[in-house]
Structure 1
Amino acid sequence: MSLSSLVLTILYFFVPEFKTLTLDATFAIAYFGTTVACLLFPARRPGLFSKNPVAKYRASGVPLVSIVSAIYIIFLLYVFWLWAVDPVYVVNNPYSAGFMIFLYVLSAAIYFSFKYYRKKKEGIDLSRVFEEIPVE
């Protein structure tokens, strides 16, 4: 990971066009992905969610965190749309979109490769390991 981080840092600072590629990828991965996870958390892990202090806040029986997440997702989709149609943001080009798709494909390939490796070689099922937060 350190080597890949070093390469990306060098590209970011010394290749001006690379910043255009990474701006929307960072935004999409960091904000959109975590917001979708937050939206689905109460439904996917109700037992774990019920232990969370924020679980007591509801509006018409729907967890408030899901409502806020849905509103934020709409806002993020609007921002993505702006980026796609307005050239002022300098990210609406095929290279940026291709780079973002490449990052998602690469991330999935790394994840599933290591998941397979850990299951096959070490006997560890990662889907079971990450089912709940470990006890401290």
Structure 2
Amino acid sequence: MRPNVELLRGRIGDLLTDTGTISYDTGETEFDEETGEETPIFADRYVGPMLVRPQYATPAEFDAGGAQWTVSRYDVTLPADTDVRIGDRVQVESTFDTKLADTFVYITDVRLDQWQIARFCIAEKSSS
């Protein structure tokens, strides 16, 4: 039995309680007066409802080359027809989690399935 995918896709929007922007690196840079460095220019790919939630209660910690890294992983849920790609930047603008608001996470996996009712992605945020 095949589920009514279109009906389910139409109803998923009520569950996407966050708002945000997905953007991609255009390959161009601009000079940042504050930092004195060239920074990448991003262009919007999607703006709208989404759901971003941490996968784990505490971030994973790694030792790489003598430096400590903290990696936080997030589940990102978007409307099924959203064009999103690995490497895209997600900025959550409105969320119930105030620590996540106005931060950037980067898409590391996009699950593809013709029957999916939403676009499910994994994003990460790392810091040293």
Q: Same fold (TM over 0.5)?
A: no
TM-score of the two chains, using structure 1 as the length reference: 0.24
| Structure with more strand by fraction | 2
- Between Structure 1 and Structure 2, the one with more helix by share is 1
**Rg larger for:** 1
